[in-house]
């Protein structure tokens, strides 16, 4: 078994870069069957996911809406020379269907 690099690139099935993960996590993904190493010589520097999360992810718990149709993503902005705060909402958080 080849050793893993300390920082391994995690890519999707279509070759898009998802993120960098530690080598131990990449090894666990390969051992679990979730990912496969991309062929390279020497240390493994890239692994590819076998399935996409959009079609094969499992929900970890029930959906909680609490009367709000979406999760609110907010950003606090402090006005210059003032103690006032402005809360800006992400456009997706206000998208009501």
Domain residue extents for the chain: 4-52
Predicted confidence (pLDDT) per residue in 30-89, tens digit: 998 889 998 767 888 999 988 876 666 666 555 555 555 545 567 778 888 888 888 877
With the C-alpha atoms ordered 19, 24, 29, 35, is the resulting torsion angle positive or negative? Answer: positive
pLDDT at residue 5 greater than cutoff 60: yes
pLDDT score recorded for residue 88: 79
Cβ pair 15, 23 in contact under 8 A: no
Q: Is the pLDDT of residue 29 over 60?
A: yes
- 50-63 pLDDT, tens digit per residue, is 887 666 666 655 55
The predicted model scores a pTM of 0.54
């Amino acid at each position: 078994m080849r050793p893993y690099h300390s920082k391994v690139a995690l890519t999707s099935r279509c070759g898009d870069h998802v993120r960098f993960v530690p080598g131990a996590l990449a090894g666990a993904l390969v051992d679990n069957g979730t990912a496969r190493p991309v062929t390279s010589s020497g240390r493994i520097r890239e692994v590819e996911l076998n399935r996409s999360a959009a079609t094969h992810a499992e929900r970890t718990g029930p959906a909680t809406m609490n009367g709000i149709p979406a999760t609110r993503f907010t950003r606090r902005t402090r006005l210059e020379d003032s103690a006032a705060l402005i809360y800006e909402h992400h456009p997706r958080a206000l998208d009501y269907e």
